Amino acid sequence: MRYPPVYFLKQMNTFIIKGFMILFVSCVTIKLNLCSPNTPSFNTLPLDGHFNFHEVHHAARDFGNRYQFLPMAVLHPKTVSDIATTIKHIWDMGPRSELTVAARGHGHSLQGQAQTHRGVVINMESLKGPEIQVYTGSSPYVDVSGGELWINILHESLKYGLAPKSWTDYLHLTIGGTLSNAGISGQAFRHGPQISNVHQLEVVTGKGEVINCSEEQNEDLFHSVLGGLGQFGIITRARISLEAAPARVKWIRVLYSDFAAFTQDQEHLISAENTFDYVEGFVIINRTGLLNNWRSSFNSKDPVQASQFKSDGRTLFCLELAKYFNLDKTDLINEEVENLLSQLSYIRSTLFMSEVAYIDFLDRVHVSEIKLRSKDLWDVPHPWLNLLIPKSKIHTFADEVFGSILTATSNGPILIYPVNRSKWDNRTSVVIPEEHIFYLVAFLTSAVPSSTGTDGLEHILTQNKRILEFCETAHLGVKQYLPHYTTKKEWQAHFGPRWEAFVQRKSAYDPLAILAPGQRIFQKAIPFS
């Protein structure tokens, strides 16, 4: 029997020692990670749902497609108790832990607001509460999970001939997501935003408490959470007001070349007693999206007339209107529409009208989403900018922005329409201009990946910056909708005199700043005031 040479034994010993050291270091690393106060083991928590520590990359992206913050884990809750238990566990760890929690609905945030770096993302669409429950009667309403999509509520409530009163243009968003902001569309002038049509909420606070709240019960928390940007609690259930749903919609678009006439007609319509059910508008630069754009499936009954219209390179303004009706009222509605249109000062050769089912009108953006997804044009950067502008400043704003900053083309729809301040509740957390009428102006741009031209991300961001700088230097009193700031000073300016109340609410309901770190308003373990 031959023995191995000495040098071979030395090599074997070296290999064994190195292997042992690697194993030892690895075990120490694993032990340190498990014992670190910043990465606790959640596996011992009594949950009906589960944590995923590996498939987390999807939670580090959103519709804005610009920010990516990788979480430590994603919670897939089945019950509200799962959410409360997780937050309470982090709350009990105290300020020594850097862990934060972000509630993620359908991932439609724009600036990483539903993300958290090395924290816990709660997948709200996994929440399996009671099914959607519709209650009929003189004051109908629907009880829904905070992770439910508005489109599903529409489908279910329509079975009873009912529907929510106020919408967003895009329905594939969660209840908790839109109620944490406001929820605005062309019905807001009449019914207010979605947060003005809520009867009751179930909320999990930053302390892990599950609290029911309404105007009669825990009123301060109720109003704090509505429009609260997720800072005070996670909405796990909501009771939404309903009304009788129509069957059909007269869908109309008319064009203006004069901005003053355009805004005057809009303001007239939202102030009239007998008017349309939906009033929006958008800007057409260089004939971009004259009739169609990604947010609609509008089909004119007179495409020949549409193609013959000459814009002569002018910036045009399109007034978009809708009148809801049932088939037994068709003749009456036709007369009403004709009468309302006769009061407007649009270009007479540009009346484009369509008629669609109510559900097709409300879900119009989804049709275009499907088309864009098929062309790989949906998951691109969306550097959107949404502004709320006082009525008295809208002409100053338009002169500069549409006359100087944006002149060549637009990289997506530019919405512009007025709403009535009287339909908003001052007790909620949302910040709006002080005037009785203010405008939403939304630059819903899409950037072409890797482009360095006018359709590239950097060019669009530069335009957005110019618009914001003009608003500030001209003292227009503009407020951002879906606001995004990076410094405490900017947030203080946004909230103005309401900042102290906002800070006090944070101290009451999420004193450790565990919730919604992606909003970048408060930083954990740093004093708020």
Q: Which residues are catalytic?
A: 108, 169, 280
- Distance of alpha carbon 329 from the chain centroid: 35
- Beta-carbon contacts of 223 under 8 Å, excluding residues fewer than 6 positions away, are 425, 427, 428, 429
What is the C-alpha separation between 65 and 458, in angstroms, rounded? 14
Given a contact cutoff of 8 angstroms between Cβ atoms, the answer to whether 503 and 232 are in contact is no
* Sign of the torsion angle spanned by Cα atoms 416, 419, 425, 427: positive
What is the C-alpha separation between 511 and 208, in angstroms, rounded? 12
Token pair belonging to 527: 């004093």
DSSP β-ladder status, 198-205 and 210-214: antiparallel
DSSP β-ladder status, 101-104 and 120-123: parallel
At residue 470, φ and ψ (nearest 5 deg) are: -65, -45
What is the C-alpha separation between 48 and 78, in angstroms, rounded? 6
**For residue 415, what are the β-bridge partners?**
282, 442
For tokens 């990788």, what's the residue? 70
Given a contact cutoff of 8 angstroms between Cβ atoms, the answer to whether 82 and 126 are in contact is no
Q: How many residues does the chain have?
A: 529
